[in-house]
A and B are shown apart, each in its own frame.
Chain A
């Protein structure tokens, strides 16, 4: 079984997030920002606990993390389907922020550390220099988001949270085919941005 959050029982966090989620139903930019802040704080606390506890060679499990966080919230509060979509959007953003912050931090410290990437079949692939790439990816993703908000969302769900295409389709109200197509496109564009591929015409 995967590692769940060790002590995500931070009730203050949970209460705050729940309250903000419920308030954010009514929309409002200010609420949304505060919600991101609270989700971010909550997830980061759990993520850090995992990162501290785990030794080199272990991966963070954002999928598990986000699901756990949602589970906890939904059991503590009366949340509806909209809240669920809302939560995942916010959590994906928060997760991205956490991972990028972590990569940036390690990149800066030049510890030679790197994210251990894990493919779907569970084999671990050590990706050299991945931290620097991740930082580059982050800003490319921002640029993509300015052109295509939905593409950014798909990348966040898929890459930073690890949701399946079906789950993403469900959350965004799209067909799986569309998600797949948008993903391929966004990935190609981001790779181009990050690696600066210059292909000969």
Chain B
């Protein structure tokens, strides 16, 4: 420091202590150097001027002067800095070195710490909020007290800006406003269902994280519903602008109070201002109580109408007029929102065959049904064939889709005849895998529980026996709604039956009133369809009357009207009327065994049919054999005629056949059920049924056999989709074959099992193969039989029935010994090796797999070689030799890439990912597993997707990202609970249990680990059992039951030694050592630790 500056400083320090008027003289006395004196004078002047640059710090400091008064460490946490304060607390940013994570600590402010009531409220807040675990709620971790008696809550640190900060720069884009509102509503729904109100929803209490979830902060004045109201002045607790009318009136708050506040927030996000901004407090309160907010559109003209009405409904003065639940709001927001972006469910699908034409004359029914659907969750549309039930149900689902945030699904039951098939059909439509039809109901309920979904069951009449299933669904999945179309009602409780009336037809006396006729729905439909068939068709005074009469004759049945209208290319309406009238008159004398309307429809179809050329008639009849439509190629093969294209065009033109598009993206042709029934009738009458059915089956068995080798090649997705499109036809074909042609049945089974495997029809497939085997096993040559048995074994294994799978495979291997079909031997050896490995017979398995490897190379079957590598890789994994496993899986991966087997690539990658994780290479794991998940999701292979998700979960677990881990594993678990290999389900449960354990929630983990162990025990999964028991043991220890912990861990050690799974063994030993340490048995603990280390070192050396 320079001496001059030192002098200046010292003078300044002293001068500033003096009264201003004395400083000058004092300085003159003290300092002789005028330049120094001048400088000090200037500094004093600058100091007195006050406001200068340095007085307005360049920073915003949220730190109040007492920021660091609270100690640096609180419990396990290091305090970083104060980040905010409010009436009920001071919040600090803190850091938890144990978990390496940031968090927020909220302290009761010192002035309130002394008050018992405030303290109690603080605890209440913690108790209330700690039960909430939701992505849109800022999580509470912990409640505690510091050494000096300060109470604090530890909660997630949300690194983002508050919505209030965000809104400073103006309103949000509409999509984003919807997104934020919907997420806040989700959070509220969770809280409300736990009985907790927030009561202080405002923009400053919502954190918006860029690109991800919005989070509700600070359930600061939350209280338990029904609890004594501890927040006495509750009327004033919400921030003024967000207060609901009932809060101002000091009435009790309810869910609707939070809805109101969210309404204000939503308004604010859309308009950039709050709805009740007034110059003073009194005016704000009055406005909230009495005035309507200015319309959203005034500030946001482009806001969609539905959104405006959502805001209006949220800001209804009367709480009862608002949304009754946050879930309803979520549905309203996300449903509407989704309809613009992506719709869940298949209802909007372009492939839906029945909606290619416009929808005429049902506005009234639609409006009526929408309101029925709000009140009743099971709605049956009844009516005779051809009244348009199906179409109405689809339009209803579309119109109501906004109310069903989790999707609307259309399930056609037309092709089914067995009531037991209904639940599997629903499962299939909503996209879950169900191995056993018997489990389907449970699986569907699991999948739909708590879901706001709408299921349309179309053509229920022929599976009416399934009414109890529908009833069970509706009562157990208590958020879903079901719309059924059926000729008869279900007659179950809670059903609302709605007889679909035919279209309005004119009465006799209106026949001369053109205005009435023109507005009549049936006439409108006729005209519209007629114009579609013949664009030049127009309504004149002359033909109007004929059209109206025609509609009357056809009883206003839409299907019949449509069939007739398609014929305007041949007949004028007048001529048509004449011909049809003649027929009906004829019929009047006939037996009245059918209701009149059904006769009308039948006559319309039959009339339309008779107008076809003979060749077209033959084609029409033949097409009736297809259960769920067919591709052009299939039509051609089965009909076996010329001029197919012309014929199909004629049938489509006459509305007898509809053209759609399949999953595989190819054109398909389908018939409405009532038309198809007529076609079959004609087929029978022409004595052609037997022949047509045979050629139908022959076509499909060849088709399945063509598909079979493709299912493991580069086009597997396309072929799987194709088989899926024709699944009903294939089922029908196989079923016919079983009773007519055993060889053909065997061929079906041998060709289809891989499709069943890939698309998760495990138990259905296994059951069919068993049935075929017992009925027809003797019939075919050995090659097909062996292939069938091999498929059976694979399905058995995938179901988790490993012991039976092993028996079948051993029998097969025996059969094949000495066979010259090396290819097949390799396949069987591979499968047997795999199953033996699963059953932990690693020595036997390795021998078999090595034989398979050698044989596969001899026959140059790259796929089989890849499989052998896969199996050897798994054996290495089971033995804990992860580096060796990586090498083997990478060999396999290379081959899979050469073949282009997507599924195989993804599988091998996932395995390498898992092994990488086990040797501590999380980044390789991360990259591989992410890529595999993408691939598997694209292929739609749920079995492997579940495995990949499980590996992803393990990865998150290693990284201590518990929420992400839980999310991945839950996704995996859902896929597995619904179907497939129970062994991976058990793995998922064990991993989930570990997540809970690491999050210090052993109580939640315990049942999961127990279930996991039970499954492994049942299926003989020794490796997994060792793992599950380790988790179970650690959980027992965490719960303080050291004896149980010891016995579980000992059993786990025993199992792992028997395999031997060296890696797992050391893990279990270390865990047991920790338990001994807890029990104070230091010597045992140390000995175990030492032994485990020795084993691990030995392993490492062996690997090197």
Are chains A and B native binding partners rather than an unrelated pairing?
Answer: yes
Which residue numbers of A lie inside 8 Å of B, CB to CB?
Answer: 1-4, 6, 55-64, 67, 71, 75, 99, 115, 117-120, 122, 125, 127, 130, 133-134, 137, 146-149, 155, 158-162, 164-167, 170, 181, 184-185, 187-192, 194-195, 197-199, 201
How far, in angstroms, from A56 to B170 measured CA to CA in the complex?
A: 11
A117 touches B43 (CB 8 A): no
Additional A-B contacts beyond A75-B100, A134-B58 (16; CB < 8 A): A2-B83, A55-B168, A59-B60, A61-B60, A61-B62, A64-B81, A67-B80, A75-B97, A119-B57, A125-B56, A134-B53, A147-B2, A160-B58, A184-B47, A191-B49, A195-B52
**Which A residues touch B61, using CB under 8 A?**
63, 118, 120, 162, 164
**Which B residues touch A170, using CB under 8 A?**
68
How far, in angstroms, from A104 to B47 measured CA to CA in the complex?
A: 26
A192 touches B81 (CB 8 A): no
| Most chain B beta-carbon contacts within 10 A, residue among A60, A162, A188, A198 | A188
In the complex, how many angstroms separate the beta carbon of A178 from the nearest chain B beta carbon? 10
In the complex, how many angstroms separate the beta carbon of B312 from the nearest chain A beta carbon? 30
Total number of B residues with any Cβ neighbor in A under 8 Å: 59
Question: Are A3 and B161 also in contact (CB < 8 A) when A184-B47, A188-B12, A191-B49 are?
Answer: yes
B95 touches A75 (CB 8 A): yes
| Residue from B24, B59, B83, B84 within 8 A of A201 (CB atoms) | B24
**Which B residues touch A185, using CB under 8 A?**
9, 12-13, 43
A118 touches B60 (CB 8 A): yes
The 10 closest A-B pairs by CB, nearest first: A162-B59, A199-B45, A117-B56, A191-B46, A55-B169, A188-B43, A118-B60, A147-B5, A188-B47, A162-B61
In the complex, how many angstroms separate the beta carbon of B894 from the nearest chain A beta carbon? 32
How far, in angstroms, from A166 to B82 measured CA to CA in the complex?
A: 14
| Residue from A122, A188, A194 within 8 A of B44 (CB atoms) | A188
Which residue numbers of B lie inside 8 Å of A, CB to CB?
Answer: 1-2, 4-5, 8-9, 12-13, 16, 24, 37-39, 41-47, 49, 52-65, 67-68, 80-81, 83-84, 91, 93, 95, 97, 100, 102, 104, 158-162, 165, 168-169, 207, 210, 217
| Most chain B beta-carbon contacts within 10 A, residue among A59, A120, A146 | A120
B56 touches A1 (CB 8 A): no
How far, in angstroms, from A191 to B38 measured CA to CA in the complex?
A: 15
**Which A residues touch B100, using CB under 8 A?**
75
16 cross-chain CB contacts under 8 A: A55-B169, A56-B169, A61-B62, A147-B4, A147-B5, A159-B58, A162-B59, A164-B67, A166-B65, A166-B67, A184-B16, A190-B53, A192-B43, A197-B45, A198-B42, A199-B46
In the complex, how many angstroms separate the beta carbon of B740 from the nearest chain A beta carbon? 67
How far, in angstroms, from A195 to B50 measured CA to CA in the complex?
A: 12
| Residue from B12, B49, B54, B59 within 8 A of A190 (CB atoms) | B54
| Residue from A56, A119, A188 within 8 A of B56 (CB atoms) | A119
How far, in angstroms, from A192 to B44 measured CA to CA in the complex?
A: 9
Question: Are A120 and B47 also in contact (CB < 8 A) when A55-B168, A164-B65, A185-B13 are?
Answer: no
How far, in angstroms, from A192 to B40 measured CA to CA in the complex?
A: 10
How far, in angstroms, from A188 to B41 measured CA to CA in the complex?
A: 10
**Which A residues touch B43, using CB under 8 A?**
185, 188-189, 191-192
B58 touches A187 (CB 8 A): no
Number of A-B contacts (CB under 8 A): 170
Task: Name the residue of chain B whose CB is nearest to the CB of A70.
Answer: B80
| Residue from B53, B68, B93 within 8 A of A137 (CB atoms) | B53
How far, in angstroms, from A146 to B2 measured CA to CA in the complex?
A: 8
A63 touches B63 (CB 8 A): yes
How far, in angstroms, from A118 to B59 measured CA to CA in the complex?
A: 6
In the complex, how many angstroms separate the beta carbon of A124 from the nearest chain B beta carbon? 8
Question: Are A167 and B68 also in contact (CB < 8 A) when A63-B59, A147-B5 are?
Answer: yes
Question: Are A67 and B49 also in contact (CB < 8 A) when A117-B58, A164-B63, A164-B65 are?
Answer: no
**Which B residues touch A2, using CB under 8 A?**
60, 62, 83-84
How far, in angstroms, from A159 to B58 measured CA to CA in the complex?
A: 6
In the complex, how many angstroms separate the beta carbon of A92 from the nearest chain B beta carbon? 11
B60 touches A122 (CB 8 A): yes
Task: Name the residue of chain B whose CB is nearest to the CB of A121.
Answer: B64
How far, in angstroms, from A80 to B169 measured CA to CA in the complex?
A: 41
Task: Name the residue of chain B whose CB is nearest to the CB of A137.
Answer: B53
How far, in angstroms, from A119 to B58 measured CA to CA in the complex?
A: 9
Task: Name the residue of chain A whose CB is nearest to the CB of B101.
Answer: A75
Question: Are A201 and B46 also in contact (CB < 8 A) when A148-B1, A148-B9, A166-B68 are?
Answer: no
In the complex, how many angstroms separate the beta carbon of B724 from the nearest chain A beta carbon? 43
A127 touches B56 (CB 8 A): yes
B81 touches A63 (CB 8 A): yes
Task: Name the residue of chain A whose CB is nearest to the CB of B84.
Answer: A1
**Which B residues touch A63, using CB under 8 A?**
59-63, 81
How far, in angstroms, from A97 to B45 measured CA to CA in the complex?
A: 29
How far, in angstroms, from A199 to B45 measured CA to CA in the complex?
A: 6
In the complex, how many angstroms separate the beta carbon of A82 from the nearest chain B beta carbon? 16
B49 touches A127 (CB 8 A): no
**Which B residues touch A56, using CB under 8 A?**
169
**Which A residues touch B64, using CB under 8 A?**
120
Task: Name the residue of chain B whose CB is nearest to the CB of A119.
Answer: B56
In the complex, how many angstroms separate the beta carbon of A119 from the nearest chain B beta carbon? 6
B169 touches A62 (CB 8 A): no
**Which A residues touch B158, using CB under 8 A?**
1
Task: Name the residue of chain B whose CB is nearest to the CB of A99.
Answer: B58
Question: Are A118 and B102 also in contact (CB < 8 A) when A63-B62, A192-B43 are?
Answer: no
**Which B residues touch A159, using CB under 8 A?**
54, 57-59
In the complex, how many angstroms separate the beta carbon of B39 from the nearest chain A beta carbon? 8
B13 touches A181 (CB 8 A): yes
Question: Are A197 and B42 also in contact (CB < 8 A) when A159-B58, A191-B47 are?
Answer: yes
In the complex, how many angstroms separate the beta carbon of B48 from the nearest chain A beta carbon? 9
**Which B residues touch A184, using CB under 8 A?**
16, 47
**Which B residues touch A3, using CB under 8 A?**
160-161, 165
Task: Name the residue of chain A whose CB is nearest to the CB of B38.
Answer: A201
B57 touches A187 (CB 8 A): no
Task: Name the residue of chain A whose CB is nearest to the CB of B27.
Answer: A201
How far, in angstroms, from A192 to B159 measured CA to CA in the complex?
A: 41
**Which A residues touch B60, using CB under 8 A?**
2, 59-61, 63, 118, 122, 162
In the complex, how many angstroms separate the beta carbon of B902 from the nearest chain A beta carbon? 33
How far, in angstroms, from A194 to B55 measured CA to CA in the complex?
A: 13
In the complex, how many angstroms separate the beta carbon of A112 from the nearest chain B beta carbon? 18
How far, in angstroms, from A158 to B63 measured CA to CA in the complex?
A: 12
| Residue from A122, A191, A199 within 8 A of B41 (CB atoms) | A199
In the complex, how many angstroms separate the beta carbon of A13 from the nearest chain B beta carbon? 18
In the complex, how many angstroms separate the beta carbon of A84 from the nearest chain B beta carbon? 11
How far, in angstroms, from A190 to B49 measured CA to CA in the complex?
A: 13
How far, in angstroms, from A188 to B53 measured CA to CA in the complex?
A: 11
**Which B residues touch A158, using CB under 8 A?**
57
| Most chain B beta-carbon contacts within 10 A, residue among A60, A63, A167 | A63
